[in-house]
Amino acid sequence: MTFSRTITAVVAIAFGGAIAAGSGHGAMAQSGPGAAPSACQMRLSSDRAVFKPLGELGGPAGCGGPDVVHLERIILADRTEVAVEPPATLRCEMAEAVVTLVRQDLAPATATMGAALSAIENYDSYDCRGRNRVMGAKLSEHGLANALDIRSVRLKDGRVVRPADAGAPREFRVAMKTAVCNRFTTVLGPGSDGYHEDHIHMDRAERRGGYRLCQWDLHDGGARIAAAPSGRAPARAGFATMPVPLPRSRPFAAAAAGDRAIYLPAESRH
């Protein structure tokens, strides 16, 4: 598949600010390669990101979503760019949330480490699979192109910082945790369930009552949670900041995914 174009800030300028600033009602709800940009794409391309529109993505078992984009780079206010490595395949509105996160929160937060932000590592984005790679489970938000896993960020001076690493600068981890939990409805990191010890999962799942899930233990001196449960869910380290009933311990299903074999409870949505 080839993509006919890459929308950049230049395109946004060509279309003018009126559409980009619009509310998004109605106009251009669907657009892929060669089609008119959606309202979301127009907002995204207003000097904020470089991406390719993919249009509506379909897949087996309900995978995919409307107005999906391939997010390559995020343009900061000072015109410098932050790469998404590798580019992430996300619903446009999820991509927009990631762009806002990077521009408003992560880029400023990296300044506390003495160097500008250069890239974020996309550990997983669109991935047509059941929740937690469990056969027969409901579709993961990854399968809906509505989730992103970030494992590391890279600074301009070459340093690579893993936010899930308790040894990473605490101020940055606190800032990132606060930001992602404000901007996404599901956040899973270290201490959440034993399966997110090396990356941060974020998605925009909608729940009854507007409940949000923010589970990321910063591990400041506390015991680390074992990463390889064999029969029961590990303790959650008392870290649920939102009033969401956590999955009960259930029999685990196992699924191997190369070097990322994981064992996950059937309910937590990752």
Residues near Zn ion, by CB under 5 A:
149, 201, 270
Tell me how far, at minimum, the Cβ of 179 lies from Zn ion, in Å: 17
- Measured from the CB atom, is 72 or 149 closer to Zn ion? 149
Tell me how far, at minimum, the Cβ of 54 lies from Zn ion, in Å: 20
- Measured from the CB atom, is 103 or 201 closer to Zn ion? 201
The amino acid present at 241, given as its one-letter code, is T
Tell me how far, at minimum, the Cβ of 146 lies from Zn ion, in Å: 10
- Measured from the CB atom, is 105 or 198 closer to Zn ion? 198
For residues 246 and 194, what is the distance between their CA atoms, to the nearest angstrom? 13
Tell me how far, at minimum, the Cβ of 258 lies from Zn ion, in Å: 15
Tell me how far, at minimum, the Cβ of 22 lies from Zn ion, in Å: 32
- Written as six digits, the tokens of 64 are 């995919």
- Measured from the CB atom, is 45 or 192 closer to Zn ion? 192
Contact 71, 90 (CB under 8 A): yes
- Measured from the CB atom, is 168 or 202 closer to Zn ion? 202
Return the DSSP state at 89: E
Burial annotation 62-76 (CB, 10 A radius, 16+ → b, else e): ebbbbbbbbbbbbbb
- Measured from the CB atom, is 45 or 185 closer to Zn ion? 185
Residue nearest to Zn ion (CB): 201
Tell me how far, at minimum, the Cβ of 262 lies from Zn ion, in Å: 10
C-alpha distance from residue 240 to each of 53, 216, 252 (Å) = 36, 8, 21
Phi and psi, residue 212, nearest 5°: -125, 155
Contact 122, 88 (CB under 8 A): yes
Strands 81-91 and 160-161: unpaired
The amino acid present at 116, given as its one-letter code, is A
For residues 150 and 190, what is the distance between their CA atoms, to the nearest angstrom? 12
